[in-house]
Amino acid sequence: MAWSFRGKAQLGGLLLSLLGWVCSCVTTILPQWKTLNLELNEMETWIMGLWEVCVNQEDVAVCKAFESFLSLPQELQISRILMVVSHGLGLLGLLLSGFGSECFQFHRIRWVFKRRLCLLGGTLEASASATTLFPVSWVAYATIQDFWDNSIPEIVPRWEFGDALYLGWAAGIFLALGGLFLIFSACLGKEDVPSLQMAGPTAPPFYAPADESNESFYLTPRPKNLFI
C-alpha cells in the first residue's frame, strides 16, 4: 500500500496521540506527583499521588489510599477529575481519527466525512493535551508556592516535584503534537484522493453493428477526448 503525504501525517498523529494517551494514563496511576525527603531520616521518603500516599523505607514501600476525596488538597481534587476527563477525550479522539484516516478503508465512508472525523479527532487530542498539562502544571505551581512559603518554619520538610509531573508534561506535549498532525492532515487538499473517487463516469465502448453482407464487423474509433 502506497502511503500519501496525508496518510503519513495521519499515521504520525495517531502514533503520537497513542503515546501521549498511554503516558497520561501512567501519570494518573503513579503516586510520584510529590516527594518529600526527611533530613532526620534519609532512608525514609514520602511520595503523594492522586490516589494514595506512600512511604519508602529501605526498599520497602507502604502505601495507603486516601479515605475521602474531600480530604485532598484542592489542586489534587481538580487534577484527579481533569486527568480522567483527559483519558476519555484522548481515547475518543483516537477512535474517531482512526476511522477517518487512510488506514481504515471502508468504501461507504465518503472522503469528506473521513476528513471531518480526522479533524474532530485531532481537536479532541488537543483538548486532551490541555486537560493533561493544566493539572500537572497546577500541582507544580502549588508545590513551588508551598516550598517558598516563608510562613512555614525552615525545619519543616517541604514537598518537591515528583517524576510523575515530568511524565505528565511529556504526555501533554505528545498529545498536542498528535492533535496538530491530525488537524494538519485534515486541512490538506484532495490531491491525494484515490483515482477511483475522482474519476468521472465512463461510457462502455461502442461497437458498430455487424455488416450482414460480408458477415464481419468494424469497430468505431474511440474519440480522443474520451477518458476512461
pLDDT tens, residue by residue, 29-65: 999 999 988 766 667 888 999 999 988 877 777 888 8
Domain ranges of the chain: 5-36+66-198
How much is the pTM?
A: 0.76
Q: Using an 8 Å Cβ cutoff, are 99 and 92 in contact?
A: no
Per-residue model confidence (pLDDT) at position 221: 53
Give the distance, in angstroms, between the CA of residue 212 and the centroid of all CA atoms in the same chain.
71
pLDDT tens, residue by residue, 170-216: 999 999 999 999 999 888 755 444 433 434 444 454 444 444 444 44
pLDDT tens, residue by residue, 76-133: 999 999 999 999 999 999 999 888 877 766 656 566 778 888 899 999 999 999 999 9
Mean pLDDT of 7-14: 88
Q: Which of 124, 173, 132 is nearest to 50 (CA)?
A: 132
Mean pLDDT of 154-173: 90
- Span 5-36+66-198 CATH architecture: Up-down Bundle (1.20)
Per-residue model confidence (pLDDT) at position 226: 46
Cα gap 115→187, rounded to integer Å: 8
Distances in Å between the alpha carbon of 109 and those of 7, 114, 117, 124, 185? 16, 7, 11, 21, 17
